Amino acid sequence: MHKRVTNLGGIFVKCDNPAATREWYAKHLGFSNSQYGTTFEWRHIDAPEKKGYNVWSTFPKDTKYFEPSSKDFMLNLQVENLEWLLGELKNEGIEQIGEMQVHEYGKFAYIIDPDGNKIELFEPLEEEHDKMVESTEVK
Cis preceding linkage at 18, omega within 30: no
pLDDT tier at 136 (50, 70, 90 boundaries)?
very low
Starting at the earlier edge strand, list the strands of the sheet with 47-60.
38-44, 47-60, 5-15, 73-79, 118-124, 106-112, 96-103
DSSP conformational letter for 95: P
Whether the full predicted model's pTM is greater than 0.85, yes or no, is no
Give me the pLDDT at residue 3, please.
86
Q: How much of the chain, in percent, has pLDDT values that exceed 70?
A: 90
pLDDT of residue 122: 96
Q: Cα–Cα distance between 69 and 13 in angstroms, integer?
A: 12
| Mean pLDDT (whole number) for 32-52 | 88
Residue 126: which pLDDT band, with cuts at 50, 70 and 90?
low
Mean pLDDT over the full length of the chain: 89
Question: CB of 4 within 8 A of CB of 123?
Answer: no
Q: With residue 125 as reference, give the H or E element that holds it.
A: none
Number of other CB atoms surrounding residue 14 within 10 Å: 19
pLDDT the model gives residue 138: 40
Residue 137 scores a pLDDT above 70? no
pLDDT at position 87 is: 96
In the chain, the domains with their CATH numbers are 5-136 (3.10.180.10)
pLDDT for the residue 68: 95
- Measured from the Cβ of residue 123, the count of other Cβ atoms closer than 10 Å reads 21
- The pLDDT tens digits for 54-103 are 999 999 999 999 999 999 999 999 999 999 999 999 999 999 999 999 99
Alpha carbon of 123 to those of 67, 85, 114, 138: distances in Å? 21, 10, 22, 24
Do strands 38-44 and 96-103 pair parallel, antiparallel, or not at all (unpaired)?
unpaired
Residue 120 clears pLDDT 60, i.e. is over it:
yes
